[in-house]
Structure 1
Amino acid sequence: MKHQHIKYLQDSFELFSDKIKEISSCKRDTQKIFEARQQALHKQLENRKEGGPFDGISSISNFLYYSPSSGEPAMLGAKKTNVDELVERNSLHQLKMYQWLLAEAYEAFEGFLVTAYAYCGLEGISIWKRPENWNHEASQCIQDYYPSRWRKPYDYLKVFREGSQHFARYEMNSPTGTKYKVVFVLIEKLRHLIVHNGGYCKDVKQLVDKMQAELKGVDIKSVRAYVDSYFILHRGDKLIDLLEGPSENDSLPTVMRAYHDPMNEFLRALVEYASLIRESAALQDREDNL
């Protein structure tokens, strides 16, 4: 009977929402921990300026390992770190935490997207495309509606775009002002850099060129400026920057400028994009039955 699984997509959205709430909470905890550490380090730095050598060693750590043939203990040698280095390391560690949280959020969204597509097949919504030689007619098992060949999220998004006017309309023209298609492509590329390159990018222009393949018809100059805003120069390469900071909106008085929070912006965009997918499936179902 049609709609006996109607809660399945909502349940999937709620699972995705729970994951985002968990990531958001972890992000806030991470921010508090590292900001407190940063304040302590800056205080230590000020104390050194006043009463001790500025470049004095503040941390010494050793790494112990054992000889694989004799079992005897050995040391790699002491790692000596001064306060300046600890300040930089603290920010870098906070940033790395944010990067992996963003990667988790992306993967949670991708899981929701695939489930949403399969749900359309289960419910007979026209967004779903019947594969060739598909032999699960009238199956009530959602696993039978997952495609066996598609691997990239862009394949699923393209089908939603083609199969739902609602999705196609609001994906790039939402009253929120967020261009979800652009934001998602950026997050997908950032996730790849985080997982495979430690969050570094040797050539941002090349990255934008790769994005352009998924953003046909979009002003690539504006995309390039948008992408550049999420990178900083670090050790000779561009590093994904997700740390909070003052807004660069110079049109506002200083007292009115809000803080830029890339992680929160990305998480919000993913939730809104998922919500648009959920809405689009429900509306298309209604249209199919008119």
Structure 2
Amino acid sequence: MELEEIFDEYICKLEQLTIAKRSMKEIAVNEINRLNQKKEKTLKVIGNNNFSHSTDFFFIEDPKSGQIIRYNYIKSTIDENIKQIILQKNKQYQWILSESFEIFREFIIKLYAYIGYKDINSWPLKDYGNIVLSELSNKDYTYFLAQAKIKKDIPDSILNRFRTIFPQYKNLEINNKLNKNLNFEIILIEHFRHLIVHCGGKTIEKPLFIEKILKKSGLWNNGKPDSEKIDFISSFFQSKDAIDAIRLLEIESKNDAFDSYYDILENLMGSLTSICFLLFNEIKSVYCKEI
């Protein structure tokens, strides 16, 4: 596989995720607007909006009798319906972020396979397994991809190798025109992904969660971390009943001229893409000089 193919495949998957995210947003906005319009009309007619707007019934199929049994129903007001839409939109955003990390991880693996295929000296010997080194010249890209997939501690181990091989990439992770610590953002998103997949995006131990991120990022500073970093991580959470949940919804910013918003999810996805672009260009400059 060529380097451009690897990058184009990543971009294609990212585009599909971004389109899905924007569609989810549009559907939620349209439905909320529809419900708010209905709410306004109802207020004019009856003076309040606490009436039951919808009723949902729930059924069980009894394996023994074959009968369908209604076991519960829920009545909801318009405000409750709107709240549910917002919660589901956030949940969908969480899964988009998780999947964006997965395609980032997949991209990193394929890049690592590519440099191994191009230059056998780019890998430490342990990554080749039990093969005799003289046999490597006969191996195609698929062999290196299979070996890359079983490397331990992905993506950390691969990114650390990239930092060794490409000093400029290591520098640009921290010192760049985006004013982002991209290494920190990788670790942040990785921990978000773990919390989303395994804990429904919620935690009752936010201070410990933040500590783990800062320690892995090298920003713990012997127990005296930068308060701005703590506040930054905390800003992604919404607290309720001693539970902190990851919130990735857009933050609206209204002024006299126009309405705008800060897109949390696309900003995080963009950090991963920036890293991928950095690595793509670094590898291209070293291994594809003829291009």
Q: TM-score range by the shorter chain?
A: 0.7 to 0.9
Aligned to 1:44: 38
* Number of residue equivalences: 278
Task: Output the CA distance in 2 between the equivalents of 1:125 and 1:27.
Answer: 40
TM-score calculated relative to the size of structure 1: 0.87
Distance 1:126 1:49, change over 3 A: farther
Aligned to 1:152: 154
What one-letter code is carried by the residue in structure 2 that aligns with 1:50? Answer: K
Task: Output the CA distance in 2 between the equivalents of 1:197 and 1:139.
Answer: 45
Task: Please say if 1:142 is aligned against 2:136.
Answer: no
Distance 1:265 1:92, change over 3 A: same
Q: Which has the higher contact order (CA 8 A, sep 6+)?
A: 1
What one-letter code is carried by the residue in structure 2 that aligns with 1:87? Answer: I
- Quick check: 2:236–2:247 contact (8 Å CA) kept in 1? yes
- Quick check: 1:232–1:239 contact (8 Å CA) kept in 2? yes
Distance 1:87 1:284, change over 3 A: same
Task: Please say if 1:118 is aligned against 2:113.
Answer: yes
What one-letter code is carried by the residue in structure 2 that aligns with 1:68? Answer: P
Residue 258 of structure 1: CA displacement? 4.8
Task: Output the CA distance in 2 between the equivalents of 1:92 and 1:111.
Answer: 29
Task: Output the CA distance in 1 between the equivalents of 2:256 and 2:206.
Answer: 30
Task: Please say if 1:272 is aligned against 2:281.
Answer: no
Task: Output the CA distance in 1 between the equivalents of 2:113 and 2:31.
Answer: 46
What one-letter code is carried by the residue in structure 2 that aligns with 1:164? Answer: F
Task: Output the CA distance in 1 between the equivalents of 2:182 and 2:253.
Answer: 21
Task: Please say if 1:98 is aligned against 2:104.
Answer: no
Distance 1:172 1:61, change over 3 A: same
Residue 65 of structure 1: CA displacement? 2.1
Aligned to 2:75: 80
Task: Output the CA distance in 1 between the equivalents of 2:79 and 2:160.
Answer: 48
Aligned to 2:8: 14
Unaligned runs of 5+ in 1: none
1:108-128 CA deviation, whole Å, 9 max, x = no partner? 010000111111100007543
What one-letter code is carried by the residue in structure 1 that aligns with 2:140? Answer: C
What one-letter code is carried by the residue in structure 1 that aligns with 2:82? Answer: V
Task: Output the CA distance in 1 between the equivalents of 2:142 and 2:277.
Answer: 22
Task: Output the CA distance in 2 between the equivalents of 1:11 and 1:45.
Answer: 51
Distance 1:242 1:254, change over 3 A: farther
What one-letter code is carried by the residue in structure 1 that aligns with 2:275? Answer: Y
Task: Output the CA distance in 1 between the equivalents of 2:15 and 2:44.
Answer: 44
2:53 equivalent among 58, 70, 82 = 58
Structure with greater helix share of residues: 2
User: Per the alignment, in what secondary structure is the counterpart of residue 138 of structure 1?
Assistant: helix
- Quick check: 1:110–1:153 contact (8 Å CA) kept in 2? yes
What one-letter code is carried by the residue in structure 1 that aligns with 2:265? Answer: M
- Quick check: 1:57–1:80 contact (8 Å CA) kept in 2? yes
Task: Please say if 1:71 is aligned against 2:66.
Answer: yes
Distance 1:247 1:192, change over 3 A: farther
Aligned-residue CA RMSD in angstroms?
Answer: 2.4
User: Per the alignment, in what secondary structure is the counterpart of residue 274 of structure 2?
Assistant: helix
Does 34-43 or 239-248 show the bigger shift? Answer: 239-248
Distance 1:88 1:257, change over 3 A: closer
What one-letter code is carried by the residue in structure 1 that aligns with 2:38? Answer: Q
Aligned to 1:260: 262
- Quick check: 1:127–1:164 contact (8 Å CA) kept in 2? no
What one-letter code is carried by the residue in structure 1 that aligns with 2:263? Answer: D
- Quick check: 2:174–2:181 contact (8 Å CA) kept in 1? yes
Task: Output the CA distance in 1 between the equivalents of 2:246 and 2:271.
Answer: 18
Does 38-47 or 85-94 show the bigger shift? Answer: 38-47
Identity of aligned residues (%): 22
User: Per the alignment, in what secondary structure is the counterpart of residue 78 of structure 1?
Assistant: strand
2:125 equivalent among 104, 121, 130 = 130
Residue 48 of structure 1: CA displacement? 3.1
Task: Output the CA distance in 1 between the equivalents of 2:185 and 2:42.
Answer: 44
